[in-house]
């Protein structure tokens, strides 16, 4: 595991400034890492199709001079994204159409509903299942958010609201505070779940004001972060996790099984151990959502089953995430049974 220690707090810029100064072109990213385009297969055409975007705080955790660095592979645009792959498309999890009943709402599962709070993110992960999502059709003004919340108010079966995006934590604190307070005022909503990559890639976003916004009285708040490799977890992330847990928020992690990033028994076991050491419980290990442009990340199901069986044999049960696939139209995520471990 590649251990990185954070810069002193005084040396770290405000999170908004860090967001404004993300690296957004491949040449700059490779210069930071002492790499050349031919070493990594950088594709400017892929960048034009889905822009490259990565915070410097995340880049500092990458290994300089290593074209196979697992963090770099997650954000670097490559020519493989331009290939057409059978079975891969723009809406792999069935979020467009009937599951998107009005702007800002995705409602696929009974009892819970997702709000698309923001269209942007601090990082563009190349395997993102929403890289083709129609964000322009899902933007809401403050008044329109009230109309979206009317949808929640009118459906008493909804006990959990999920904030997602993009990444909901790129929204400003006052917007999040108002939105969460309105959700808390809906009597049948019991839980607020926040899905975010920012505590990992931009941990300085986890401020006291943000946590105040996400903890309205009357709701249980759950933070689900997205970390795929133990090298993503530096001192600053550990501090962000501690701040979250000090507010009595449940802290879970969901990862995606990615070829060339974490598709080994050691990588998955180290990820679970590192997460738990910092206070996050491994929750889901997703098979890749088959989004157009991400086929080169796919790990076949049988290999995934054997890897999962291997970590099940190696780790205590509470450190083993559930292996799942999301299938469009199904009433819940589909669990995948294990096979015997790899030899």
Give the pLDDT of residue 13. 60
Is the pLDDT confidence value at 71 over 80? yes
Query: Are residues 148 and 248 located together in one domain of the fold?
Result: yes
Q: What is the C-alpha separation between 232 and 55, in angstroms, rounded?
A: 12
Helices 173-184, 142-153: axis angle to 10 degrees equals: 20
Is the pLDDT confidence value at 109 over 90? yes
Query: Are residues 180 and 65 located together in one domain of the fold?
Result: no
Domain extent, residue 72, equals: 9-82
For CA atoms 140, 142, 147, 150, the dihedral sign is positive
Which residues sit opposite 162 in a β-bridge? 114, 193
On whether the pTM is more than 0.85, the answer is yes
Q: Determine, yes or no, domain membership for 93.
A: no
Query: Are residues 124 and 189 located together in one domain of the fold?
Result: yes
Domains of the chain: total: 2
154-163, 245-254, 331-340: which has the minimum mean pLDDT?
Answer: 331-340
Query: Are residues 76 and 220 located together in one domain of the fold?
Result: no
Give the pLDDT of residue 85. 94
Q: Determine, yes or no, domain membership for 198.
A: yes
Average pLDDT of the residues in 278-285: 98
Query: Are residues 62 and 120 located together in one domain of the fold?
Result: no
Average pLDDT of the residues in 240-245: 98
Is the pLDDT confidence value at 246 over 50? yes
Is the pLDDT confidence value at 340 over 70? no
Annotated binding site for [4Fe-4S] cluster, which residues? Answer: 121, 125, 128
Is the pLDDT confidence value at 8 over 50? no
Query: Are residues 60 and 114 located together in one domain of the fold?
Result: no
Residue at which a domain ends, from 82, 97, 128? 82
Average pLDDT of the residues in 215-223: 96
Q: Determine, yes or no, domain membership for 97.
A: no
Q: What is the C-alpha separation between 100 and 219, in angstroms, rounded?
A: 25
Average pLDDT of the residues in 213-231: 97
Which residues sit opposite 256 in a β-bridge? 286
Which residues sit opposite 115 in a β-bridge? 105, 163
Mean pLDDT of the chain: 93
Annotated binding site, which residues? Answer: 121, 125, 128
Query: Are residues 63 and 185 located together in one domain of the fold?
Result: no
Q: Determine, yes or no, domain membership for 305.
A: yes
| Per-residue pLDDT tens digits for 10-52 | 334 699 999 999 999 999 999 999 999 889 989 999 999 999 9
| Per-residue pLDDT tens digits for 157-168 | 999 999 999 999
Query: Are residues 329 and 187 located together in one domain of the fold?
Result: yes
**15 neighbors 204 (Cβ within 8 angstroms):** yes
Half-sphere exposure of residue 228: CA atoms within 13 angstroms, side-chain side: 27
Query: Are residues 301 and 176 located together in one domain of the fold?
Result: yes
Q: Determine, yes or no, domain membership for 100.
A: no
Give the pLDDT of residue 331. 76
Nearest to 29 by CA among 55, 68, 2: 55
| Strands laid side by side in the 191-196 sheet | 105-106, 112-116, 160-164, 191-196, 220-226, 250-256, 281-286, 322-325, 334-335
Query: Are residues 290 and 154 located together in one domain of the fold?
Result: yes
Is the pLDDT confidence value at 199 over 80? yes
Average pLDDT of the residues in 191-211: 98
| Per-residue pLDDT tens digits for 53-65 | 999 999 999 999 9
Give the pLDDT of residue 261. 98
| Per-residue pLDDT tens digits for 287-338 | 999 999 999 999 999 999 999 999 999 999 999 999 999 888 777 788 887 6
**264 neighbors 224 (Cβ within 8 angstroms):** no
């Amino acid at each position: 595991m590649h251990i990185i220690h954070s810069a002193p707090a005084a040396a770290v810029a405000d999170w908004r400034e860090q967001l404004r100064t993300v690296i957004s072109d491949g040449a700059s990213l490779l210069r930071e890492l002492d790499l050349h385009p031919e070493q990594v297969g950088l594709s400017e055409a892929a960048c034009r199709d889905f822009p490259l975007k990565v915070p410097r705080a995340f880049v500092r955790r990458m290994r300089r001079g290593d074209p196979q660095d697992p963090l770099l592979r997650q954000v670097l645009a490559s020519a493989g994204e331009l290939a057409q792959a059978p079975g891969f498309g723009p809406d792999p999890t069935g979020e467009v159409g009937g599951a998107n009943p009005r702007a800002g709402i995705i409602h696929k599962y009974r009892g819970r509903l997702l709000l698309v709070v923001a269209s942007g993110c601090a990082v563009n992960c190349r395997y993102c299942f929403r890289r083709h999502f129609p964000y322009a059709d899902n933007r809401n003004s403050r008044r329109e958010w009230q109309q979206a919340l009317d949808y929640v108010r009118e459906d008493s079966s909804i006990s959990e609201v999920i904030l997602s995006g993009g990444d909901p934590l790129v929204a400003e604190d006052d917007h999040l505070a108002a939105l969460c307070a309105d959700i808390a005022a809906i009597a049948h909503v019991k839980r607020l779940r926040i899905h975010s990559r920012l505590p990992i890639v931009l941990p300085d976003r986890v401020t006291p004001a943000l946590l105040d916004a996400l903890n309205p009285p009357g709701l249980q708040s759950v933070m689900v972060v997205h970390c795929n490799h133990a090298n993503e977890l530096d001192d600053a992330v550990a501090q962000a996790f501690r701040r979250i847990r000090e507010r009595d928020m449940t802290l879970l992690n969901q990862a995606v099984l990615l070829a060339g990033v974490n598709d080994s028994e050691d990588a998955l076991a180290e990820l679970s151990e590192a997460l738990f050491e910092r206070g996050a419980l491994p929750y889901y290990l997703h098979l890749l959502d088959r989004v157009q442009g991400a086929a080169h990340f796919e790990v076949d199901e049988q290999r995934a089953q054997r890897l999962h069986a291997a970590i099940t044999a190696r780790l205590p049960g509470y450190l083993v995430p559930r292996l799942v696939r999301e299938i469009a139209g199904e009433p819940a995520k589909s669990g995948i049974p294990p096979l015997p471990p790899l030899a």
